Structure 1
Amino acid sequence: MRATDRESYDRLYRSTSAVWSGRANRQLVDEADGLPPGRALDAGCGEGGDALWLAERGWRVTAVDFSRVALERAAAGARARGLADRVEWVHADLDRWAPPAGRFDLVTAHYLHASWSDRAGVFRRLAAAVAPGGTLLVVGHQHGAAWEHGHQHAHDPDVLHRAEDVAAVLDPAEWEGVVTETRERDPEATARTGNPVPDTVLVARRSAAQ
């Protein structure tokens, strides 16, 4: 199954009771664990593992996904963990949805592997949502690799991106400490999904003086 749009992702989520592990992604934990909690945007939140991890640590989270099936599952998880009042679930397509500019202390997006009509535009809107002094974290699977992993789910290399693609939309005058790296994938995630492809990671801090 190649999930590239809302309908195919809905089918993917309906195919099993849980597509993902429910744990927060490793790069989010590494980058956000020391940040003071504030307002966070989780773009492409899926079943909500990252959003719930942030909420448990005091963040107010806006979590967005275009799969209603995934959002319903994520919201149920929030209720079960007593976090319903800390997460706002938004059903929207990032290809068209624009988050409020300058609103969030952390904007995080992991594995946005859909067929966006304007991927650079998606990255620009996410970057614009970061408040002065806030952090942008965008993580993907390394560009140019093809594989299949759990739940008969495969990624088309054409929908992947590089950290440098995200960095290219950032105005150097507005950002500092921009890091683009290839990092080893979480070994537990590799073992569970059969996907050994490294992560491509963009981390940047918006300048406090804007």
Structure 2
Amino acid sequence: MTDNDRDRWDRRYTDRPAPTVEDVALPAVFAPFADVFPTAGRALDLACGPGASAAWLAGRGMTVHGYDVSRVAIARARELARCSGSAERCRFEVADLDDGLPAGEPVDVVLCLRFRDPRLDRAIIERLCPGGLLAISALSEVGGRPGPFAVRRGALTRAFATLDVVAAGEGHGEAWLLARRSPTGAAPDARRGR
């Protein structure tokens, strides 16, 4: 990512009000499936922004590692975790995901809200523990405008076809997917003997 892009994200977060404890929540697109998210284990929040989702996961009992390219977002995420009482279960770092997925242990949840870089797809799948949950959303051409960051119809389910779909949807300019890695870690076709 260029310095101009980083500055643009910093300005974007600076121009928005900082989140408060009342903002700690699972993203609306995944809220109907809150009971699918584990209450223990490790989570990775990619492009975590100011940390509302990470703090929600931590409040459920997970240990969360969040990454974002914006220093402003990371500072706000740390403050939100402190204010919400989840600082001991949250770790936030500035990272440019254009450089790849930062190394780390397998996780029980990967959350990626309104961000998608196809170059990370394989690394995301490999980072999930057997039985781990992927919750990803992205801008979509379905009900939205085409653009360099908007995915085409069916792109998420195709990209993560080796995972077991829990739920998925597209519309109003957003595509989303909840999917699990098999408990054995095998791809669905391998489990069917194909």
Tell me whether the two structures share a fold, i.e. TM-score over 0.5: yes
Question: 1:160 offset after TM fit, Å?
Answer: 1.7
C-alpha displacement of 1:13: 1.3
CA distance in 1, matches of 2:50, 2:152: 24
User: In 2 relative to 1, CA 162–179 (structure 1 residues): closer, same or farther, beyond 3 Å?
Assistant: farther
Verify: 1:161 aligned to 2:151, yes or no: yes
What is the RMSD computed on CA atoms of the aligned residues?
A: 2.7
Structure 2 contact 139–149 (Cα < 8 Å) conserved: no
**Is the counterpart of residue 109 in structure 1 residue 97 in structure 2?**
no
| 1:168 Cα deviation after fit | 2.7
Q: Equivalent residue for 1:151?
A: none
Q: Deviations over 1:3-49 (max 9, x none)?
A: x9322111111223338983421133333434332211111110111
Match of 1:87 in 2: 90
Structure 2: gaps of 5 or more residues: 186-194
RCO higher in 1 or 2 (8 Å CA, sep ≥ 6)? 1
Out of 161, 164, 172, the residue aligned to residue 176 of structure 1 is 164
Percent identity between the aligned chains? 31
TM value normalised by structure 1: 0.73
Give aligned pairs, total: 178
Aligned partner letter, 2:169: E
Q: Which of the pair is proportionally richer in helix?
A: 2
Quick one: which amino acid aligns to residue 180 of structure 2?
R
SS across alignment from 2:65? strand
**Counterpart in the other structure of 2:63:** 60
Of residues 47-56 and 133-142 in structure 1, the stretch that sits farther from structure 2 once superposed is 133-142
Deviations 1:127-171 (A, max 9, x none): 22111111111112332624xxxxxxxxx8321224732333335
Separation in 2, partners of 1:81, 1:170? 33
Q: Deviations over 1:107-130 (max 9, x none)?
A: 1111117xxxxx311222222211
Match of 2:190 in 1: none
